[in-house]
Amino acid sequence: MPRKPRLRSGSGVTLHDIGLEVGVSAITVSRALNSPERVSEALRDKIREAVERLGYVPNRSARALASARSQTVLVLIPSLTNTVFIDTLAGIEEVLRAAGYQMLIGNTHYSADEELQLLRAYLEHQPDGILVTGLSQPQEFNSTLERLGIPAVYMMDLADDGRLCVGFSQEEAGAAITSHLLARGYRRIAFMGAQLDERVLKRLDGYRDVLRAGQSYDASLEYLDPAPSSMQMGAEMVERILHEHSDCDAVFCCNDDLAIGAIAQCQRLGLEVPGRVAIVGFNDLQPAGWVTPALTTVATPRYRIGVEAARLLLDRIAGHAVASSRLDLGFEIVVRASS
């Protein structure tokens, strides 16, 4: 009878080869690599040494065939240059790597159409689950996941429709930093927004709600630009605001890049911050605490969002029940010298 072919690793070394080296069966080697708690520590060490010595590389395709899983997770983020999402990716990677999963990363460029196209393209790789940024996907996106039964966790915001999500309330954060400015005595508070993605617009909603409640809202103090955010934009925008509204005494910038650019431009113009105008940002990126004056901003749990979203997704992939569909990690107002 012909011998059953052996599944080989990426290096050509088989589990049978490792077993011969150690003096155990290929099944025992497989058990040591995939369920180490079921093998004695001494035997695990011998097998690990043989793996390293022979250069064994697991055959991912064979493992996926045996488990009916690809051991991959698709992560869709809007930018690969924005520190906010890089921090989130770091948290995701830490959890997935420890669980033996790899990331497939798709950059949506803040485009719902690109997001849908990336989903269709990456489905060919049969990801076990998907981590998605934000909540504003087209209906076809969510219906595709539902039809295929692919678990998904949505990050950075909180949904009310039963979708699994990990994040914080963007509206509440926008309202909280605006309330901070009002509590400091500022009344003519402008809003500077760039990119204008769903999260920025929700911060704007929080800003509006607080000012309307305090009868301080003025739509002409909203400066919105759909172009990508930059410090240069912040510099140009704050100069325009202060030129067109000489009574403006505070500016809420939708992110720290705009705020840092605004502070730098005020210094160039000889305008004291916060003496002439207070400036606050959003996200608490590392430079926020190092500019002069140090920037008051909203600290967001970007890394932890990645960690908890990845954990929640792995639980769903494993078929475990979850206590709640919403995990609110909150935010913190970090008060510094700029306000």
C-alpha count within 13 angstroms, C-beta hemisphere, residue 175: 13
Q: Say which residue the tokens 């485009």 belong to.
A: 111
> 212: which residues sit within 8 A by CB, 6+ positions away?
none
Task: Please give the sequence-ordered ranges of beta strands (E in DSSP) within 148-277, or none if there are none.
Answer: 152-155, 165-167, 189-194, 222-225, 250-253
List, as one string, the DSSP characters of 257-314. Answer: HHHHHHHHHHHHTT--TTTT-EEE-SB--GGGGTSSSPPBEEE--HHHHHHHHHHHHH
Which token pair is 254?
A: 């939708």
> 5: which residues sit within 8 A by CB, 6+ positions away?
none
Burial 207-216 (b: 16+ CB within 10 A, else e): bbbbbeeeeb
Name the amino acid, one letter, at 326: R
| CA distances for 277 relative to 68, 247, 254, 290, 292, angstroms | 59, 9, 16, 19, 14
d(CA 178, CA 298) in angstroms, rounded, equals 11
Q: Say which residue the tokens 């072919």 belong to.
A: 5
Burial 291-307 (b: 16+ CB within 10 A, else e): bebbbbbbbbbbbbbbb
pLDDT in tens, the chain (339 residues): 444 444 444 456 888 889 999 999 888 888 888 777 788 888 989 998 988 888 777 655 455 444 567 899 999 999 999 999 999 999 999 999 999 999 999 999 999 999 999 999 999 899 999 999 999 998 999 999 998 899 999 999 999 999 999 999 999 999 999 999 999 999 999 999 999 999 999 999 999 999 999 999 999 999 999 999 999 999 999 999 999 999 999 999 999 999 999 999 999 999 999 999 999 999 999 999 999 999 999 999 999 999 999 999 999 999 998 888 999 999 999 999 999
d(CA 10, CA 6) in angstroms, rounded, equals 13
| CA distances for 185 relative to 94, 139, 158, 178, angstroms | 43, 44, 31, 11
